[in-house]
Structure 1
Amino acid sequence: MLFVSFQTTQNKNGKGDGKMNNQETLALFGDEADEKFIKGEVLQMIFHNPDNLFSVTRIEVKETNTDWDERDIIVTGVFPKLEPQEVYLFYGKMQEHAKFGQQFKAERFHKEMPQTREGVVAYLSGELFKGIGKKTAENIVAVLGEDAISIMLNDPDRLSEVPKLPKNTADSLLATLRENQGLEHVMIGLNDYGFGPQLSMKIFSSLQTKCT
């Protein structure tokens, strides 16, 4: 955010002439730079309420601008059930719980998708996708590249280009991708546009009601 303050010079009648004098002051304030965040891998979903999406999860900290210096931390907030081993970026604030001590209260979040070929291979060959081993994941990435996930979601027929990939395995892979890109994908998208988790949930619920 940019703030500019200046004092105008005055003419003989005591009125401002709109010109900036040497007392002009320019100040830059980076609000987002001051926002606290924790980036980490999901270790365990401790609690998840499917009705209002209030969740408590344990995160292995990979990066943060808070004073937290321990290996993992409890993150609370309103978000869909998160899959273990996936990496998320949470924005919010530290808070002291009367019983459980310091926690991080997330006000919004963003999913960190794999950015490299190796990362996509590791993601697709993880526990989330049954029947997709490392070799199959490598074949998929060899054909579709590091954008394989978005390609499969937007143009699923491209999976037919992967040699020796059984149709039932491809169908299962796509079904799992779509399932995990449902509520989570919508909420992350709304978060990216500045909507908080509670409002995102209301919007998603409203859309669900209209579609049923």
Structure 2
Amino acid sequence: MLKLRCVVERITYQNPENGYSVLKVKVKGYSDLVTLVGNLLEVPAGSVLLCEGDWKIDKRYGNQFVCQSWEEVMPATTYGIEKYLGSGLVKGIGPKFAQLIVKQFGTETIEIIETDIDRLYEVPGIGKKRVELIRESWEKQKDIKNVMLFLQNYGVSTAFAAKIYRQYGKTGIEKVKENPYRLADDIWGIGFKTADGIASKMGYEKK
């Protein structure tokens, strides 16, 4: 399989039930946006993805990169960081403040938000209320990523991982570790067979 690093520019289509998504992404070396398809639910515009998959020519839609697996990586360029922060993913930061924050901190922006968020007060026009909103939203996004990454290690699709997070919130890891079979009762679309497969990968004895 091939690897493709890209920045999500916009979401063309997403199926919330099975996670199938069609995204337009920016790829270094390509003048036009590339079509990326696969199980990419809960991936917002502005995200930087490292995808594995293959190119395919669709009779109707043309050249596409079919993603088999992916991981989100933090953007490393000022363009990517500004796009990521301005996507609406982090409450309190829209395109305007994303531009101001990146202008102030450059490529160190993500590290500063992660480790020393109070430095946002150095950005003109950002008050206490906005910084607290950004802090709260950033922590929530970390919780989502932690739960999703944990579940993907046990073969849980992105679509189901998103449903599990919506059901349990940041306690998702704890709930699944405690009893993976509860997923069959609590999460629509996950039956006993799927829950048993997850449990088996986690080292539980088969029921």
TM-score above 0.5 = yes
Q: 1:107 maps to which residue?
A: 68
Measured against aligned partners, the alpha-carbon deviations of 1:12-33 in whole angstroms (never above 9, x if no partner) come to: xxxxxxxxxxxxxxxxxxxxxx
Residue 40 of structure 1 deviates from its aligned partner by 1.7
Q: 1:39 maps to which residue?
A: 5
**CA-based RMSD:** 3.7
Residue 71 of structure 1 deviates from its aligned partner by 2.9
Pair 1:87–1:169, CA change in 2 (3 A): same
Q: 1:172 maps to which residue?
A: 133
* 8 Å Cα contact 2:56/2:66 also seen in 1: yes
Higher strand share: 1
Q: 1:16 maps to which residue?
A: none
Pair 1:207–1:84, CA change in 2 (3 A): closer
Measured against aligned partners, the alpha-carbon deviations of 1:134-169 in whole angstroms (never above 9, x if no partner) come to: 444555x49x87522432xxxxxx434554652211
Task: Specify the SS of the correspondent of 2:3.
Answer: strand
* 8 Å Cα contact 1:108/1:197 also seen in 2: no
What is the identity, as a one-letter code, of the residue corresponding to 1:122? Answer: E
Using structure 1 for the length normalisation, give the TM-score.
Answer: 0.56
Higher helix share: 2
- The alignment of Structure 1 onto Structure 2 pairs a total of residues equal to 161
What is the identity, as a one-letter code, of the residue corresponding to 1:177? Answer: W
Q: 1:89 maps to which residue?
A: 50
Residue 170 of structure 1 deviates from its aligned partner by 0.8
Task: Specify the SS of the correspondent of 1:132.
Answer: helix
Measured against aligned partners, the alpha-carbon deviations of 1:53-78 in whole angstroms (never above 9, x if no partner) come to: 21101112216xxxxx6633211111
* 8 Å Cα contact 2:101/2:109 also seen in 1: no
- Residue 132 in 1 paired to residue 92 in 2? no
Alpha-carbon distance in structure 2 between the residues aligned to 1:161 and 1:149: 8
Using structure 2 for the length normalisation, give the TM-score.
Answer: 0.57
**In the alignment, which of 102, 117, 127 is matched to residue 159 of structure 1?**
117
